[in-house]
Amino acid sequence: MKIKSIKSSLFWQNSVNLTIALPLIMFFLAASQTVKADGYSLILNGKSIHKEEPKKGSFNEKNWGLGLQYDYEIYKEHWQPYLTASIFKDSYEQNSFYAGGGIMRRFSLDNLYEDFYFSAGVVGFVMTRKDYNNRRPFLGALPAFALGFDKVAINISYVPKVEPKLVPLWFIQLKISFGNFD
């Protein structure tokens, strides 16, 4: 029992350190480039849609959490590189953390609404999860999509079934630009 409580307290200590470290890492990475306030966004994690039912019980599909995203200047008219970090409640109601970055190909949909776009790309990350490798960090890469406007958008990632115990799912976030608060 004592070992379990020690491990539990170490997790929370590491969680606090990770929660502080991830935004700082993003800040310093972004600060090494030309930074604009409009590049920063608040990420509100909120929803997952599982494509299969669990063997027993049910999945948590309300994945509440917070994160940050930094979007660099669009490169060669269509390519949007970005950094992201977040903490959220996973499908088993455990805290999960990730930090990473990616690139998206942006398709303008200005003919529908001004500044409206759809993006598709990839996100690479380092993540910790209780149910995978006992919270030891692991690397991953996922297809990523976004639909919205410069000030507000929806981020969507697809997690395929990569091992027998995993269930494929869609993970949805709301992205709100700090530029909204100017």
Locate tokens 């849609």: which residue? 49
Closest alpha carbon to 10 in 105, 143, 130, 168: 130
Q: What is the DSSP letter of 57?
A: S
The runs of H, that is alpha helices, within the chain are 2-31
Half-sphere exposure of 38 (CA within 13 A, CB side): 6
What residues contact 49, with CB distance under 8 A and at least 6 apart? Answer: 61, 169, 170, 172
Range of the domain at 22: 2-181
pLDDT band with cut points at 50, 70 and 90 for residue 144: very high
CA-CA distances (angstroms) from residue 159 to 50, 141, 163, 171?
Answer: 9, 9, 11, 8
pLDDT band with cut points at 50, 70 and 90 for residue 1: very low
Instruction: Look up the CATH number of the domain holding residue 106.
Output: 2.40.160.20
pLDDT band with cut points at 50, 70 and 90 for residue 136: confident
Given a cut of 60, whether residue 142 has pLDDT beyond it is: yes
pLDDT at 163: 76
* Tally of domains within the chain: 1
pTM of the model: 0.78
Given a cut of 70, whether residue 41 has pLDDT beyond it is: yes
pLDDT at 75: 85
pLDDT tens track for 65-81: 999 999 998 888 899 99
Instruction: Name the CA radius of gyration of the chain, rounded.
Output: 17
pLDDT at 10: 39
